[in-house]
Amino acid sequence: MSETAAMRPGAEAPVAGELVVFHDVAAGDTGGWGLLVDELARALGLTPSYMPVGGHGPLWVDRLLRAAAAAPGPVLVLPQDPLGPTTPSPHLVRLVIASGDAADVIRAAGLLVRRLRIGGVHSTVLVVLADGAVPSMWEGPGHHAAAWRTELQRRHEGADTLRVVGGVDELGRAIHDHAVDADAVVLLWRRVATEGRAMVVRSLLGISDGVPSLLVPMDWIATLRGGAAGPVVVAQLEAGRSG
């Protein structure tokens, strides 16, 4: 039995091409988040598929992650606020967090940023320098750092802002800072949901309470490289959009 079936008895497992949207089973109406969900799904070339999930706390996170690991593509976790965003953003702003091995994650984040940009979605990228995610060699500040940052910005072409942070704690603070203006927090991950793994994802699902979290598997991003199907959406979200 798949993880999603366990969470929602009788539900069919999600299929490829779907953006799985996990929402609080007790919340009922998800209409407040509908616009956001539709825009994200369109930008990613996916079709929303809502799945209620019950529970709270760490066990809820565990179940969520197991379900997310089993999903064919990205999953969006809506906060347990049924009314949706109270303040419409002038434009859709995303936080894209890179964590893990620098080389492949940077590449993946770059692809995702460009895909979102084509879909009219703006991004702020936070590049995490943490264990296993730093360049192997670092000559120092000045010339080397300048060359590294220039290349980092080129690889995330399409992002409005790029910020380098060190460690999970600093990442959490940076997300808090940027979440004020963000419609969602995007986390790249490797679908490893067993206990003790995906600590960055676990901690950030808690931090981003009130802001939806989009979990994007690294392997799914790889399908974007080949010019994955999906309409090119150039949708500028105007100020004061209506729900």
Where do contacts with other proteins occur on this chain (CB under 8 A)? 102-103, 107, 129, 131-132, 134-152, 154, 157, 163-166
Judged by DSSP in three states, 47 sits in strand
CB of 150 to other proteins, least distance (A): 7
Cβ-based neighbours of 152, under 8 Å, separated by 6 or more: 106, 127, 162, 164
CB of 223 to other proteins, least distance (A): 16
Comparison of 92 and 102: residue with beta carbon closer to other proteins:
102
CB of 149 to other proteins, least distance (A): 7
Select from 40, 105, 101, 46 the least CA-distant residue to 71: 46
Which H or E element spans position 30?
none
Comparison of 6 and 145: residue with beta carbon closer to other proteins:
145
**How far is residue 134 CA from its own chain's centroid?**
21
Tokens of 76: 């969006």
Comparison of 64 and 111: residue with beta carbon closer to other proteins:
111
CB of 90 to other proteins, least distance (A): 25
CB of 135 to other proteins, least distance (A): 4
Comparison of 87 and 154: residue with beta carbon closer to other proteins:
154
Question: Please, what sign has the CA dihedral across residues 66, 1, 27, 186?
Answer: positive
CA-CA distance, 96 to 90, in Å (whole number)? 18
Select from 197, 134, 204, 212 the least CA-distant residue to 174: 204
Comparison of 31 and 135: residue with beta carbon closer to other proteins:
135
